[in-house]
Structures are given as structure tokens and as C-alpha cells.
């Protein structure tokens, strides 16, 4: 019999994006932490931004769960390990309950996660019950914990919404519209936790609302989570020191990626392209994505760092650049205000920001040691794309994915890689004379 652990758990879902899932999950995490409970939070899908809010609320790193990018076995192990140490597991869904392939519904069904449905009730009355009933019955094999109404105008409005629910769906409370708990957004989603000076105040206020609902005292049924067989990866990066960009311009690095690099034996040294004048001593360089477009003048004016990055490339040491990290290596980038700034000049092309999406979705690329998976989500476009060494493939689509740039020991793409999807392929990216 496989080892198992039990822990109360909820997957918070909605009919669509923008219903308030992140705010509700963060409020729940903060409320239960204030009650002295150990809370572990996960994010469905490849998102970087929401987890920063959820990490602040739970005081614990937030890992991704995705049946394709992360894989079912790895998701199962992450949930099992969380159940060993937590009093409550919360999983924030992605988009609407049935959106995407795999969807939040697929994840809930695979692991037996009860669903808490949050529905924006601000512009509806009795139709609230119809929406909840549709979500609950569209796929009959799902377990429904109950429904919460978000952005409710008044107690009377809340009563109206509650009365519209069928008896088969428990009412778990109204979450009232309040600017004190709203989270600001921009082109890639919510703002990052570190950018919100009032975030803790917002979380505390939201937790107070939770305390006034049935969710504040609800006894949740435990869910049984099973372990999978795991093996430690070979120490393929033993003795390799990796310099990793980390500041407000380069902030999209999965905790699971950094953890894997360390398990592979690498030493990690962090630096700021915004504030530091030089790179730390390192054998390889990792430039994750982020928001270089919001910090262009500062990045362009740090000439010492631009030179250091260029010198590192010309030294023949490995560089892995993802999305915003790749943009940093271009000749120049034009921001939303039409201002163009010169950057590293390692990749001989330019890019500009645009109002519409330039790429979105789960993607993978087949290296000699197998497929490495990840995702893409960007509003930038290359003005004159270079010759690509290959193109990624999209999950569940025949349309070609993002181009892969390979120049010597540099690998760059719009793709944000999820390293644990193929530890050997990930390790090879940081090795000199790596296999193709």
C-alpha cells in the first residue's frame, strides 16, 4: 500500500477569471493562520504573480500544480508532502472551472479536491444560484464544498443570493465589495506582493470578513493524499555556481526551479541588474522573466552591468534567458510610452511592447534528453526575429510555439521553463558544452 496522509483541503474556483479567487484564497490563508493553523497554498497553472500574494498570506512558498507542466505524479507528491505538515491545504484554480486542458476541474477530479465556488455577485441576483448549479452539475463526478458570493453590495443582497442556491449547494458566505481589500492589476495580472505597501492591511481586512462567514468556522472534511515513488536527481550541477537575476525587473522564477537547481548540486548566487554594478563570480547565468519594460531607464543606465552581461556571454559560459530575461539581452526594447532604450546587445534584434498578447499557453521543447516543459505569457514582440534553432510545441495544439534562440552557450526564448519537468534537460542548460 502506498503511504498516505490526510488533511482538509479546498480548491477555490470560479466561472471565469476576475471573480476574486486570489483575494478569497489569500483571505482564507491569512484567517486560518491567525487561528494558529498551518496553511499550505498551491496555484493551479503556471502563474508567477498570484503566488506572491498567496505566499505573503500563508508565510510559506507557493508551488504550482498543473497536470501537464508539472505532471500528475509530481503534483500528487507535492500535495502529499503538504498534507504531512499542514492543517489546511488551499489550491487556487485557474480561469474558470472547466477552462483549459488540463483544467481546474481535471485537477480536482484527479486528487479528490472539494470545490469552493466563488462567484462575483455584483451584477446579479437569483441567477447566482443558476451559475452555481451549472458549475456543480456540469461534471457530476466533482465534490462541491459550497459557494461564496463575492463583491456583494449589502447584507440584503447577500440574503437574495443565498436564497437562490439549491439546497444541494451549501452557502458559505458573502464577501462584501470593499476597496480596502481590492488588489490592483496591470497588463500581466495583479501587482506583485512586494509592490503593495498596504498588502498586509488588505489581507487582515479580508481575513476579518472571512471570520464573519460560515467559512470562518467551517469544519472541513479531510482529504487523503498519496505519496509517489521519488528519487533524488543525480548531482549533475555539483560544483557549478549559477548567478541568478532577482529584483523587481526579474522576478518570475519558480520556487521549484530554484529548489531543483540546488538538489542538482548547484550553488545559487543572486544579483540585481537594477542595483548591482557587476555579476557575482559564477559558472553560468540565469535570467528569468519579469518586468524589464517597467524599469527600462534604470536597466539601460546601469552600463556597468550591461557590459558585465555582454562579457559573460563572450566568455563562452552558459546563459539561460526566459522572456523578460531574453528581452534584456536584445539590442533594445521599446516600452508602452514609445521610449526605446539600449540594452545588452547580445542578441542582435530589438523588441517592443504592445497592447495585445504576443503569446500565451503551455509549451514544451524536445531536447536530446527529452522534453522540457513550461509556458509563455507576454505582451512583447520581436521586431526582426533572428534565425531560430527550433520551435517549441504547444500543449493540445498543432500550431507552432515560441522560437528557441541558441547562440554558442546561450539559450533564450519567450518560454518560462519549469525545470522539474525534466531535471536532466534543465541541468544541461547550465553546463558548458551541454548536449543539444
pLDDT tens readout for residues 249-281: 999 999 999 999 999 999 999 999 999 999 999
DSSP letter, residue 113: P
Higher per-residue pLDDT: 365 or 196 = 365
Cβ contact 175:208 at 8 Å: no
Just list the catalytic residues: 323
pLDDT, mean over the chain: 91
pLDDT at position 320 = 98
Residue with cell 552591468: 305
Domain extents in the chain: 4-226, 241-429
Average of per-residue pLDDT across 336-342:
92
pLDDT at position 186 = 45
Confidence bin at 146 (pLDDT 50/70/90): very high
Higher per-residue pLDDT: 229 or 277 = 277
* Alpha carbon distances (Å) from 272 to 5, 120, 137, 240: 40, 39, 49, 20
Does the structure show a pLDDT above 90 at 375? yes
Average of per-residue pLDDT across 1-7:
84
For residue 83 the three cell numbers come to 498534507
Average of per-residue pLDDT across 339-356:
94
Give the separation between CA 35 and CA 375, rounded to whole angstroms: 36
pLDDT at position 434 = 58
| CATH classification (class only), 241-429 | alpha beta
Does the structure show a pLDDT above 80 at 103? yes
Residue with cell 510610452: 337
Other C-beta atoms within 10 Å of 339: how many? 12
Rg of the chain over all Cα atoms, to the nearest angstrom: 22
* Alpha carbon distances (Å) from 284 to 20, 320, 322: 40, 8, 14
The answer, yes or no, to whether the previous bond of 304 is cis (omega within 30 of 0) is: no
Does the structure show a pLDDT above 90 at 50? no
Q: What is the four-CA torsion angle of 93, 12, 289, 255, rounded to 10 degrees?
A: -110
Average of per-residue pLDDT across 83-108:
96
State pTM to two decimals: 0.93
Cβ contact 326:287 at 8 Å: yes
Average of per-residue pLDDT across 278-307:
96
Give the separation between CA 212 and CA 80, rounded to whole angstroms: 31
pLDDT at position 325 = 97
Give the separation between CA 102 and CA 105, rounded to whole angstroms: 8
β-partners of residue 43 are 64, 92
The CATH topology of domain 4-226 is Rossmann fold (3.40.50)
Confidence bin at 359 (pLDDT 50/70/90): confident
Cβ contact 183:191 at 8 Å: yes
Two domains, one topology: 4-226 and 241-429 = yes
Average of per-residue pLDDT across 109-120:
96
Give the separation between CA 105 and CA 124, rounded to whole angstroms: 24
pLDDT at position 191 = 58
With CA atoms as reference, report the closest residue to 125 among 163, 92, 168: 163
Average of per-residue pLDDT across 202-207:
84
DSSP string, 69-99: IIIHHHHHHHHHHHHHH-SEEEEE--SSTT-
For 119, how many CA atoms within 13 A lie in the half-sphere containing its CB?
30
Average of per-residue pLDDT across 144-154:
94
Average of per-residue pLDDT across 166-184:
81
Q: How far is C-alpha 203 from the geometric centre of its chain's CA atoms?
A: 20
The phi and psi torsions of 312 (rounded to 5 degrees) equal -60, -45
Cβ contact 175:148 at 8 Å: yes
With CA atoms as reference, report the closest residue to 315 among 271, 359, 284, 274: 284
Amino acid at each position: 500500500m502506498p503511504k498516505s496522509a490526510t488533511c482538509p483541503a479546498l480548491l477555490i474556483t470560479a466561472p471565469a477569471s476576475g471573480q476574486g479567487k486570489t483575494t478569497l484564497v489569500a483571505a482564507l490563508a491569512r484567517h486560518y493562520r491567525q487561528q494558529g493553523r498551518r496553511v499550505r497554498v498551491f496555484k493551479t497553472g503556471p502563474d508567477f504573480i498570484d503566488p506572491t500574494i498567496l505566499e505573503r498570506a500563508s508565510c510559506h512558498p507557493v508551488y504550482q500544480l498543473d497536470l501537464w507542466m508539472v505532471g500528475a505524479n509530481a503534483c500528487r507528491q507535492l500535495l502529499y508532502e503538504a498534507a504531512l505538515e499542514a492543517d489546511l491545504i488551499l489550491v487556487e484554480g485557474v480561469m474558470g472551472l472547466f477552462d483549459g486542458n488540463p483544467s481546474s476541474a481535471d485537477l480536482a477530479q484527479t486528487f479528490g479536491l472539494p470545490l469552493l465556488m466563488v462567484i462575483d455577485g455584483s451584477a446579479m441576483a437569483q441567477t447566482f444560484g443558476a451559475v452555481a448549479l451549472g458549475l456543480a452539475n456540469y461534471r457530476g463526478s466533482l465534490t462541491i464544498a459550497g459557494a461564496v458570493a463575492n463583491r456583494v453590495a449589502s447584507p440584503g443582497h447577500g440574503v437574495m443570493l443565498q436564497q437562490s442556491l439549491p439546497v444541494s449547494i451549501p452557502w458559505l458566505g458573502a464577501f462584501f465589495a470593499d476597496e480596502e481589500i481590492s488588489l490592483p492589476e496591470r497588463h500581466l495580472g495583479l501587482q506583485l506582493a512586494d509592490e503593495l505597501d498596504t498588502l498586509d492591511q488588505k489581507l487582515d481586512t479580508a481575513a476579518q470578513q472571512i471570520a464573519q462567514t460560515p467559512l470562518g468556522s467551517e469544519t472541513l472534511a479531510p482529504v487523503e493524499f498519496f505519496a509517489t515513488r521519488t528519487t533524488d536527481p543525480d548531482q549533475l550541477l555539483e560544483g557549478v555556481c549559477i548567478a541568478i537575476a532577482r529584483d523587481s525587473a526579474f522576478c518570475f522564477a519558480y520556487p521549484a526551479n530554484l529548489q531543483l537547481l540546488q538538489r542538482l548540486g548547484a550553488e545559487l548566487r543572486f544579483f540585481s541588474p537594477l542595483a548591482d554594478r557587476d555579476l557575482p563570480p559564477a559558472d553560468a547565468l540565469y535570467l528569468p522573466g519579469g518586468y524589464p519594460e517597467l524599469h527600462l531607464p534604470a536597466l539601460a543606465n546601469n552600463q556597468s552591468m550591461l557590459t558585465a552581461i555582454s562579457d559573460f556571454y563572450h566568455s563562452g559560459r552558459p546563459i539561460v534567458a526566459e522572456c523578460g530575461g531574453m528581452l534584456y539581452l536584445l539590442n533594445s526594447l521599446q516600452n508602452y510610452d514609445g521610449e526605446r532604450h539600449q540594452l545588452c546587445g547580445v542578441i542582435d534584434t530589438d523588441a517592443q511592447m504592445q497592447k495585445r498578447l504576443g503569446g500565451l499557453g503551455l509549451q514544451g521543447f524536445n531536447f536530446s534528453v527529452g522534453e522540457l516543459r513550461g509556458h509563455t505569457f507576454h505582451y512583447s514582440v520581436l521586431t526582426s526575429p533572428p534565425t531560430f534553432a527550433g520551435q517549441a510545441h504547444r500543449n493540445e495544439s498543432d500550431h507552432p510555439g515560441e522560437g528557441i534562440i541558441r547562440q554558442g552557450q546561450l539559450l533564450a526564448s519567450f518560454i518560462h521553463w519549469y525545470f522539474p519537468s525534466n531535471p536532466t534537460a534543465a541541468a544541461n542548460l547550465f553546463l558548458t558544452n551541454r548536449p543539444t
